[in-house]
Amino acid sequence: MNEAAKWTEYYSRLDSLMAPNEYLLKMLLGRYAGKVDLLGGASWRTAFRGRRVLDMSCGDGRNIVLLHKLGFDISATEISDEICDSVHRNLANSGIDLARDRLRTGSNAAVPFDSASFDFVISWNAVYYLDDESDTIDRALGEVARVLQPGGWFICSVPGPRCYSVLGAHPLGGSRVRLEPAVNADWGGGLQKDAIYHLFQDPAEVGHLLAPMFEPVQVSELHWDGFGVPLHYFIFAARRRPG
Ligand SMILES: C[S@@+](CC[C@H](N)C(=O)[O-])C[C@H]1O[C@@H](n2cnc3c(N)ncnc32)[C@H](O)[C@@H]1O
């Protein structure tokens, strides 16, 4: 089964709570305002109203619930038409009427929106998925930069090398790996096995890869023990350079 078919099957049986990610919430509400000033001094109650956001690879749509509450003008992608259909249904069931044509099918390597369409791009645990062994993270980051307006923000989470999902992964050269999860291997019915990731090594690599297109790049590292499941992520906010 290819990656799109695996994820389509996964979401077709997911009984979602549509609960947004805590750290994304904190970034948007300005809880880290000393470092990541997405609000420009304004209150979160008004700062995002009408701002154009793309939730790239939105999953079941859980973070869209938060983006809707904050007043964003929302678009999103996923990797199959069926997942986009299910996101549309999930949102309708949560009382959110998002036009179906705002949900488009595409991968990190080819984002189905025009250049400079967005003030914010969010990719929560998704930008590092590569289409195949010939794909590179530069394509995905180039796509993020392309669809962002100059001055727009990229808000992102990626796993680090001590995260359960990448333990035991086979190196493919560079920072690319093919997954063979050694801990929590049955998560999502074994969904992650054989996925190809760009594995960011440390905050410095995040900064280095984004620097040509983004300034500033602010990275935070999260590492904790999830009842025996090691969790390790880099979360970052990066501003699209002008021009
Ligand atoms: C860990 S989930 C995260 C979903 C969502 N952003 C969230 O926070 O719940 C990873 C997502 O990446 C998508 N995905 C898998 N391969 C991809 C690729 N090559 N390009 C873009 N997205 C991909 C999957 O369909 C899945 O929804």
Q: What is the pLDDT of residues 135-175, one digit of tens each?
A: 999 999 999 999 999 999 999 999 999 999 999 999 999 99
Give dist(CA 110, CA 77) in Å, integer: 10
Pocket of ligand 1 (CB under 6 A): 3, 7, 21, 57-59, 62-63, 78-79, 107-108, 124-126, 129, 131
Q: How confident is the model at residue 34 (pLDDT cuts 50, 70, 90)?
A: confident
- 176 pLDDT more than 80: yes
Give the atom of ligand 1 at the shortest distance from the alpha carbon of 79.
Answer: 25
Count of structural domains, the chain? 1
Over residues 109-136, mean pLDDT: 97
Amino acid code (one letter) for 60: D
- 3-class SS of residue 13: helix
Does residue 230 contact residue 163 with C-beta atoms inside 8 Å?
yes
**3-class secondary-structure state, position 38:** coil
Mean pLDDT of 193-204: 98
The verdict on whether omega for the bond into residue 216 sits within 30 degrees of 0, i.e. cis, is yes
Model-level pTM?
0.98
* Residue 60 CA, ligand 1 centroid: distance in Å: 10
Residue bearing the CA closest to ligand 1, atom 27:
59
pLDDT above 90 as % of the chain: 95
Contacts 24+ apart (CB under 8 A), 81-89: 81/105, 82/8, 82/11, 82/12, 83/7, 83/8, 83/11, 86/11, 86/12, 86/60, 87/58, 87/59, 87/60, 87/61
Which of 12, 129, 147, 193 best tests ligand 1's pocket when mutated (most atoms within 8 Å of CB)? 129
What's the pLDDT tens digit per position in 11-24?
999 999 999 999 99
pLDDT for 224 equals 97
CA-closest candidate to residue 103, choices 80, 120, 122: 80
Closest CA to 52 of 94, 107, 102, 18: 102
Q: Comparing C-alpha atoms, which of 51, 53, 30, 60 is closest to residue 42? A: 30
The residue segments making up the domain with residue 37 are: 3-240
For the cut 90, the answer to whether the pLDDT of residue 72 exceeds it is yes
pLDDT classification of 81: cutoffs 50, 70, 90:
very high
pLDDT of 243 above 80: no
Residue 183: name the closest of 174, 198, 193 by CA. 193
- Where residue 91 sits, what CATH number does that domain have? 3.40.50.150
1, pLDDT greater than 80: no
**Residue 212: pLDDT band with limits 50, 70, 90:** very high
